[in-house]
Amino acid sequence: MDEIRPSSGAGAHLGLASIFPPGLQAIYGQCRRLYPDQANPLQVTAIVKYWLGGPDPLDYISMYRNLGCPGQDVPEHWHYVSLGLSDLYGDNRVHEFTGQEGPSGFGFELTFRLKREAGETAPPTWPAELMQGLARYVFQSENTFCSGDHISWHSPLDNSESRIQHMLLTEDPQMQPVQTPFGHVSFLQIVGVCTEELQAAQQWNGQGILDLLREVHIAGGPWLITDMRRGETIFEIDPHLQERVDKGIETDGSNLSGVSAKCAWDDLSRPPEDEDDSRSICIGSQPRRLSDKDTEQIREALRKGLEINSKSVLPPISSQRHSHDRPQSRKDSLESESSAAIVPHELVRTRQLESVHLKFNQESGTLLPLCLRGRLLHGRHFTYKSINGDTAITFVSTGVEGAFATEEHPYAAHGPWLQILLTEEFVEQMLADVRDLSTREMSKLPKEYSWPDKKLKISVLPDTVFDSPLQ
């Protein structure tokens, strides 16, 4: 549980600076630069610190009153700054100290700008719990965030009836990166968005949508201030913006290279009782686990997908990263809950499959057009990583190097990881057949799509199918 209290005024009394941890003092200094007249801002603080066994990773969230910038038509708002994702102490109680040259802790802190309502005299505290939730994800998964990332939240950020139900991340427009004795720290601002804006970010890229939000005053403006009372998307405010998104997708494709999903796959070319079948659905047994090498390969594949390269590349099977390397960015980076493989890596062979059946829940199914149009038609790849185990499905185009699926054998599996290689002609055919998935208005499930000549079947199923232990 958190408590609200004025901060200790560390920034106001330089003679007391020595009693405050250096990492904390460095961030306080950045805040003092912006708010010299708010030496004692309200703070939400974890009663039991994370390093003492408490549930909340952020030691503090400071809350400031920002007067905005009338010259840029920036309204008055509340400014929230987290303390705890970076290394505040330097004594290994939370983060391993690795030197001044690299990132401090996870290398960033979160900020949030919330439009101040008329008559408000104190900042709402719900953003602090939102930031704690994001911090818990980072600590538990060790996946970090970067500017342009999107976060699917599927609920109003303030638990109201608001349309603002998801988030994008960007650099804070005022908080400059700081160098601390324990490494460098940047500041990533949370930006609340509507579902339609999140979908546009998925189909194109987060930075493009952030730029559009900056152009629309009531949707964020130049400082990307979140207004929980906003009732219209940027596409309803200015319908011409959808044309810019469509043109961007056609020109750039999508930067989203993979998602965590409810998905499964079946090898239809083998009987269910075949014990050697490493397919994703294992009735009466636990799904097989990916080895460290395979897990790192899929993670690296997703990371590669974030880069704008002339040719998309999958790393070879033998590639291996050091275990202490942390994914550089992305809510959707892959992280296996158990790195130990049930089947030793050396004994898992790559198998060519004759026929496959892919299964997705509705939310995952609606991303298929994005996968096909925004990724494969641009010579890239896209991965669905199951949230229920180590199952993974990677779609690859003929321009992707390093894939173990080939044009001669387009369906190939390495343990529970399935790769599907699709030619451009087949992608165009599939896009025409699954275009109804783009509407997100599927009222009747299941939905079946089948290409008998390609020996491929796709089912979009209710969530309950994937929640069942037998799938």
Query: Quick one: pLDDT at residue 326?
Result: 35
Whether the Cβ atoms of residue 204 and residue 181 lie closer than 8 Å to each other: no
98/65 Cα distance (integer angstroms): 35
Average model confidence (pLDDT) for the chain? 83
- Higher pLDDT: 342 or 353? It is 353
3-state secondary structure of 111: strand
Query: Quick one: pLDDT at residue 260?
Result: 87
- Dihedral of CA 276/277/279/280: which sign? negative
In terms of Cβ atoms closer than 10 Å to its own Cβ (0-12, 13-18, 19+), residue 421 is buried
The mean per-residue pLDDT over the stretch 142-156 comes to 92
Measure CA 64 to chain center: 27
- Dihedral of CA 161/164/167/171: which sign? negative
HEC profile of 304-331: HHCCCCCCCECCCCCCCCCCCCCCCCCC
- Is the model's pLDDT at 100 over the cut of 80? yes
Whole-Å CA distances, 136 to 52, 141, 191, 321 = 15, 8, 18, 25
Highest average pLDDT, of 231-240, 271-280, 361-370, comes from: 231-240
Q: Tell the residue number behind the tokens 């993979």, with chain if given.
A: 258
- Higher pLDDT: 91 or 277? It is 91
The mean per-residue pLDDT over the stretch 335-340 comes to 28
pLDDT tier, 400 (very low <50, low <70, confident <90, very high otherwise): confident
Q: Tell the residue number behind the tokens 């290394």, with chain if given.
A: 87
3-state secondary structure of 153: coil
Rounded to two decimals, the pTM is: 0.75
Whether the upstream peptide bond of residue 344 has omega within 30° of 0, thus cis, is: no
| Helices within 306-450 (DSSP H only) | 362-365, 368-369, 424-433
- Decide the pairing of beta strands 258-261 and 381-386: parallel
| Helices within 123-194 (DSSP H only) | 126-141
Query: Quick one: pLDDT at residue 467?
Result: 82
Q: Which strand (E) or helix (H) includes residue 265? A: strand 263-267
- Is the model's pLDDT at 338 over the cut of 50? no
Min mean pLDDT across 66-70, 130-134, 356-360, 388-392 is at 388-392
* Residue in 44, 171, 191 with CA at minimum distance from that of residue 113: 191
- The residues that bridge with 178 in the sheet, in sequence order, are 185
Min mean pLDDT across 116-120, 236-240, 309-313, 352-356 is at 309-313
Query: Quick one: pLDDT at residue 443?
Result: 64
Amino acid at 206: G
- State both tokens at 278: 């490493």
Residues 6+ positions from 116 with CB-CB distance below 8 Å = 65, 75, 76, 77, 78
* Highest CATH level, class, for 257-271+349-470: alpha beta
pLDDT tier, 426 (very low <50, low <70, confident <90, very high otherwise): very high
Determine what percent of the chain is predicted with pLDDT higher than 70. 78
pLDDT tier, 18 (very low <50, low <70, confident <90, very high otherwise): low
pLDDT tier, 181 (very low <50, low <70, confident <90, very high otherwise): very high
Highest average pLDDT, of 280-289, 328-337, 399-408, comes from: 399-408
56/132 Cα distance (integer angstroms): 6
- Is the model's pLDDT at 348 over the cut of 80? no
455 phi-psi bin (left φ>0, alpha ψ -120 to 50, beta other): left
- Is the model's pLDDT at 449 over the cut of 60? yes
Query: Quick one: pLDDT at residue 442?
Result: 57
- Is the model's pLDDT at 149 over the cut of 90? yes
The mean per-residue pLDDT over the stretch 346-371 comes to 88
The mean per-residue pLDDT over the stretch 217-227 comes to 97
Residue 94 DSSP class = S
- Higher pLDDT: 208 or 282? It is 208
Q: What share of the chain is helix, strand, coil (3-state, %, to 5)?
A: 30, 25, 45
pLDDT tier, 304 (very low <50, low <70, confident <90, very high otherwise): very low
Residue 184 DSSP class = E
The mean per-residue pLDDT over the stretch 134-161 comes to 93
Query: Quick one: pLDDT at residue 299?
Result: 58
Residue 373 DSSP class = I
Whether the Cβ atoms of residue 113 and residue 77 lie closer than 8 Å to each other: yes
* Domain boundaries defined on the chain: 22-252, 257-271+349-470
pLDDT tier, 93 (very low <50, low <70, confident <90, very high otherwise): very high
393/265 Cα distance (integer angstroms): 8
Query: Quick one: pLDDT at residue 438?
Result: 77
